[in-house]
A = this chain, B = another copy of it.
Amino acid sequence: MGFTSNTKKTKKVFVIKVGGNIIDDDAKLDSFLRDFAAIKENKILVHGGGKLATSVGEAMGLKQLLIDGRRVTDAETLKVITMVYAGYINKNLVAKLQSLGCNAIGLCGADANIIKAHKRIHPTIDYGYVGDIDHVDTGFFKILFNNNVTPVFAPVTHDENGLLNTNADSIAKEIASAMSQLYHVHLVYCFEKSGVLMEPENDNSTIAQMNEATYLELKNKKIISSGMIPKLDNSFDALKSGVQKVLIGNADKLHDLLTYHSGTAIVHE
């Protein structure tokens, strides 16, 4: 069965996640979007938030804007996330991509019922409006690709009661995993660093290639910074569920990253 399904996969899909620090940096974002628009293969962009959510949240009187997936998302925080991520950031990315000749469409998980989620279940903590993903519908992406339309995804999903805040790295991983049933999927995590680093502040210490054994070893030695751990867990999960390649690196060097001239390649062995 593996053989049969693999022979059907003739097309490549890039699922590319770009982080909030890049959204806030006009020059890096422009460079990233130009390289993204120039990708000839089918592609999906997943974006995080940025500083605007914090400033809008503060303006609206939220004492602390709780956007980290590990913390509680109350109704007002969800409102700010929906406005800023699924509204302002998402639609501005779409408009910029359109101006670069990329026929983008801005979506969240509720749109066309693409990502169904449930409120996070935890024995003692109520995380509020935080969604963990149950299902990604690949059918609608296929329709968009067939019509040369590029999805741009905000980190918002839904259950039967409404919208839910969902971690953008997890959305990218789940979309990549689901799409890997139909396509050769490359998952790419783009941010402000050159990749996975041996020394946290030294971009020249980028690890070019990493398998799970190396990861566990470096994690045990506390060499991997704690912020990288969820991203790397997502990366190895993605490989195990059928994603062909995972790359981690600089958003403003996307072309170099995709051609293996920059960044960290996460590999099976």
Contact between B87 and A110, CB atoms less than 8 A apart: no
Interface status of A143 (Cβ within 8 A of chain B): yes
| Interface residues in A64-108 (C-beta closer than 8 Å to B) | 79, 82-88, 90-92, 94-96, 98-99, 103-108
By a CB distance below 8 angstroms, the chain B residues around A108 are 91, 94, 106
Given contacts A99-B162, A106-B110, A143-B147, contact A88 B87 (CB under 8 A): yes
Oligomer copy total: 2
CB contact list, A203-262 vs B, under 8 A:
none
Q: Are B82 and A88 in contact (CB under 8 A)?
A: yes
Q: List, in ascending order, chain B residues with CB within 8 A of A113's CB.
A: 98, 103
Across the two chains, which residue of chain B brings its CB closest to A79?
B88
- Cα(A110)–Cα(B102), bound, Å: 11
Contact A83 B92, beta carbon cutoff 8 Å: no
Say whether A112 faces chain B, with CB atoms less than 8 Å apart: yes
Q: Which residues of B contact A162 (CB under 8 A)?
A: 92, 95-96, 99
State A129–B140 Cα separation when bound (angstroms). Answer: 32
Residue from the list B82, B107, B111 in contact with A87, Cβ < 8 A: B82
Among candidates B92, B103, B147, B156, residue contacting A82 with C-beta atoms closer than 8 Å: B92
Contacts of A90 in B (CB 8 A): 86-87
Q: Residue A123 at the B interface, CB < 8 A?
A: no
Query: Which of A55-63, A175-183, A185-193 lies on the face that meets chain B?
Result: A55-63
Taken residue by residue from 142 to 166, chain A's Cβ proximity to chain B (1 for < 8 Å, 0 otherwise) reads as 0100010100000010101111000
| Nearest CB in chain B: distance from A93 CB, A | 9
Evaluate contact between B60 and A158: CB separation under 8 angstroms.
Answer: no
Q: List 27 A-B contacts (CB under 8 A).
A: A59-B61, A82-B91, A83-B84, A83-B87, A86-B91, A87-B87, A87-B91, A91-B108, A91-B110, A91-B111, A91-B156, A91-B163, A94-B108, A94-B110, A94-B111, A95-B158, A95-B163, A98-B113, A98-B160, A103-B113, A104-B111, A104-B112, A105-B111, A105-B112, A106-B111, A112-B149, A140-B147
Chain A: residues with CB nearer than 8 A to chain B?
Answer: 56, 59-61, 79, 82-88, 90-92, 94-96, 98-99, 103-108, 110-113, 140, 143, 147, 149, 156, 158, 160-163
Enumerate the 9 nearest inter-chain pairs by beta-carbon distance, A residue then B residue, closest first.
Answer: A87-B87, A83-B83, A83-B87, A95-B110, A105-B111, A59-B59, A105-B112, A83-B88, A94-B110
List 19 extra interface pairs beyond A83-B84, A99-B162, CB under 8 A.
A79-B88, A84-B87, A86-B87, A87-B87, A87-B88, A91-B111, A91-B156, A91-B163, A94-B111, A95-B162, A95-B163, A103-B112, A105-B107, A105-B112, A106-B108, A106-B110, A112-B149, A140-B149, A143-B147
